[in-house]
A and B are shown apart, each in its own frame.
Chain A
Amino acid sequence: MTKMRRRKTLLLCVASVCTLALSVSVTAQDRAKQIGGKFMCMCNCNQVLTQCNHVGCTTSTAMLKELDQAVARGDSEDVITQAFVQEFGTKVYAEPPKSGLSLVAWVLPSVYLVGGTLLVVFIISRWRSRIHLETAAASGGPSGISAEELERARRRVARETED
């Protein structure tokens, strides 16, 4: 290996190590941000921890510091979450956990949507079945249309076709 080539390899190694170190630090920052997005700030502002920007909010500053330390220690997300819940209670969650009573909060919107859709489908099918019955009844009746009925039908057509 020539001197030049060795120097190039060394440079590449140094660059790789630097990039790796940088990426680890960026990942730790991102991780803290990602985990912090799952907690509420406990200053009663009703905002997510990473978004609380109240002037002089000491609560969010202390919580973020604690979070950064935990991430730097390499604690897992579960461990960090448990520690925060132990310290602040369940109201620290930014979104309800998907277990126990909190699961109800997640299930309810789907229940509304499914229930509502079924209701709409039921209404539509009932309306449609009724119209079939009416059509059948009308076809069996007398064919003559009175002037009054004709006028009513004209008014209805005019109303329903105008935009």
Chain B
Amino acid sequence: MATCGLIFIATFSLVYLFFSDSYWVSYVVAHSNRDLSTFYKIAALWSGQEGSLLFWSFLLAIYVFSALFVYRNKNGELMPYVGVVLAGVQIFFLTLNNFVASPFKVLATPGANGALEIFTRADGNGLTPLLQYPEMVIHPPNLYSGYTGFTIPFAFALGALLARYPGEKWIHLTRKWTMIAWCFQTAGVLLGAHWAYAVLGWGGYWGWDPVENASLLPWLTGTAFLHSVMMQEKRGMMKVWNVWLVFLTFMLCILGTTLTRSGIVSSVHAFAQSSIGNWFVGFLALILVVCFVAYVKNRDYLKSENQLDSIVSRESSFLFNNLILLVSCVAVLSGTLFPVFSEWLSGSRISVGAPFFNKVNIPLGLILLFLTGVGPLLAWRKTSVDSLKRNFGWPSLFSLVVGAVVFALGLHEFYSLLCLILCVFVATTIAMEFYRGARVVRARSGASFAASAVDLTLRNTRRYGGYIVHMGMVLIFVGLAGAAFNKDVQKDMQIGSTLQIGRYNLLLQSFDSKPERNYTSERMVVEVMQNNKPLMMLYPERRFFQTNQESGTMVAIYSTLRDDLYVVYAGQSPETQTPVIHAYLNPLVKWIWLGGAIVVMGTIVTLLPNRRSVLAFAVVQEPSATRPLSPSLAPSVTLREGHD
């Protein structure tokens, strides 16, 4: 608690230094200036190496304190081990904060007497323009909450292994913590994608940049863990696998941080090259050794209780789900590191860019999508042929019919068509599950269908929350499929000239330049027309920040469920000095953000306690003339709902 309190004081001190414009602190000078708005002075906290590490410690301290507080008088045999592991991780980050990358270094020069004299700058360098965007205030906290959150299941898994703690209890204890970390990681990854889409101005949301990949890796293994852990809970299987998945997830969080902070891989948003990477490599090696030794010494404790009864079962679907997620993870990792290895081996760096990652991951993603539909509807142990027909007959038929119709309408791009068919298949299986369950509830309660579906979900939040998450993933895949049909046009524009893209006609009404508080803006005023009727106005702009002599793009987006009209002011033409417009038409992008919101919502549902039917006894007065029975002998049983 004392550690948590001190980290809070340190973090809020740094925030105070930003708000008080303390330009005698090196970190404040590097990441803020007087004209920076209050909103972005908060974001400045994690915009550099030193501040982001302090922020990491801050979030970790919240998790550590919460976990130790929640279980303070419980699980006496386990918690000392968990506490030691958590303290070890916290100590590592505090070491970095204090001795390697302190954000509290002051500006000083040697004075006449040899002593250091602190001096103050009139103003700071300002925040990087790319970070001056609302999502940068919420994206890093989400992502860091995901990274740090995985420390809790890691500590419990390692603690349980070291303490030889019986059964699956560590899994029950950490399930909600893992879900919370996963939820933050998912939200963080998607917010990062949206930031890239809205700020970088290249028309896409995922460029397979090493920093993006670093955030995806623990998400993939974390997702695998959330699925395989059910096998251990239900059937006492996969104990070794689960423990190593948690270890791997935590190690990938650290590895991702190592990659982005050491300068090993080049990235547009990696931190500057520094020696801090060696610390992370050392920490990673230490974790690996500790985990390996703990496993070797206690592996007999992880013996599986049950075996697989049938290949067509939920267990095997989880095995294949884990396989695909892990293959994707390793493929992304090896692709990210390949330029480094190629340079070591051959002396020349070979780049691995987005086309490679797309080619490798699209088929894997589609297999995963298929398993998303199949897995939850297979029975544990063994699935009968009748059950297969009942669960998958209509969804298969319906998805194939939709696929045929869409093909006839002109969708011939193979992966997009396959993706659409699978999306329909998965969505139908999920809808049927809700329908069947809600029908039973409705028959008993007489409530409306929608109310029955809500009731059903609240009775088994874990199962139906999971379905909601899957439905969100389906929407994300629908959005990703749209990328195959992106269009873009670039044109030098005179005032009054037009540009046609898809069904939209863009008319340049005016172009101006005006100074703002923190930057100078060059702005286009573009009227969007559809069928020769005015639809809306868009204002793509470019901002030039005087303090750090950097520029930033503000993309103008008109988003609908059908497509996004994405308009970028691409500067002035060197030949004609006229403004250049780069317009993109990106189909179905909105579905990705919508799907992301549903995934987060579904995860929150899974965290809710189940509503259970409880028996309540009530005395009922018999209206008949016959002698009433004693209430204790003739209770009338009514069903009441309550939360556990």
Contact = CB atoms under 8 A, between A and B. Distances in A.
Interface in A125-163: 127-128, 130-131, 134, 159-161, 163
Contact of B268 (A46, A96, A102, A105): A46
A-B pairs, 7 with minimum CB distance: A94-B353, A127-B308, A109-B331, A55-B551, A95-B356, A127-B307, A53-B202
Contacts of A47: 202, 207, 209, 268, 353-354
Interface string A82-98: 00000001111111100
A22 B279 CA distance: 59
Given A52-B202, A123-B319, A91 B327 contact: no
Contact of A89 (B207, B330, B348): B348
Contacts of B364: 113
Interface in B381-440: 381
Contact of A95 (B266, B307, B355, B582): B355
Interface in B577-603: 582
Interface stretch (B18-26, B337-345, B524-532): B337-345
Given A117-B323, A124-B316, A112 B351 contact: no
Given A44-B268, A105-B356, A112 B330 contact: yes
Contacts of A91: 339, 348-351
Interface in A42-89: 44-48, 51-56, 89
Given A108-B331, A128-B311, A163-B463, 15 more contacts: A46-B210, A46-B353, A47-B202, A53-B203, A91-B349, A91-B350, A93-B353, A94-B353, A96-B342, A105-B335, A105-B350, A116-B323, A124-B311, A127-B307, A131-B308
Contact of A53 (B201, B323, B353): B201
B320 interface: yes
B355 A38 contact: yes
A17 interface: no
B551 A116 contact: no
A101 interface: yes
B460 interface: yes
B235 interface: yes
Nearest to B464: A163
Contacts of A32: none
Contacts of A52: 202
A134 B309 CA distance: 12
A47 B350 CA distance: 14
Given A94-B351, A124-B311, A160 B234 contact: yes
A95 B335 CA distance: 10
Contact of B355 (A37, A116, A119, A161): A37
B606 to A, nearest CB: 13
A88 B27 CA distance: 36
Interface string B531-574: 00000000000100000000111000000000000001011000
| A-side interface mostly | helix
B499 interface: no
Nearest to A38: B355
Given A53-B200, A55-B542, A46 B209 contact: yes
Interface string B463-478: 1000000000000000
B266 A159 contact: no
B228 to A, nearest CB: 12
A44 B359 CA distance: 22
A40 B339 CA distance: 13
A120 B356 contact: no
Contact of A40 (B316, B330, B353, B359): B353
Contact of A112 (B316, B327, B355): B327
B365 interface: no
A104 B360 CA distance: 13
B551 A56 contact: yes
A29 B364 CA distance: 32
Contacts of A101: 342, 345-346, 350
A161 B380 contact: yes
20 contacts: A40-B353, A46-B209, A46-B210, A46-B353, A47-B207, A48-B207, A48-B354, A51-B354, A90-B351, A91-B349, A95-B352, A96-B338, A96-B356, A106-B356, A108-B331, A109-B327, A113-B323, A120-B319, A124-B308, A128-B308
B354 A96 contact: no
A104 B533 CA distance: 55
Contacts of B235: 160
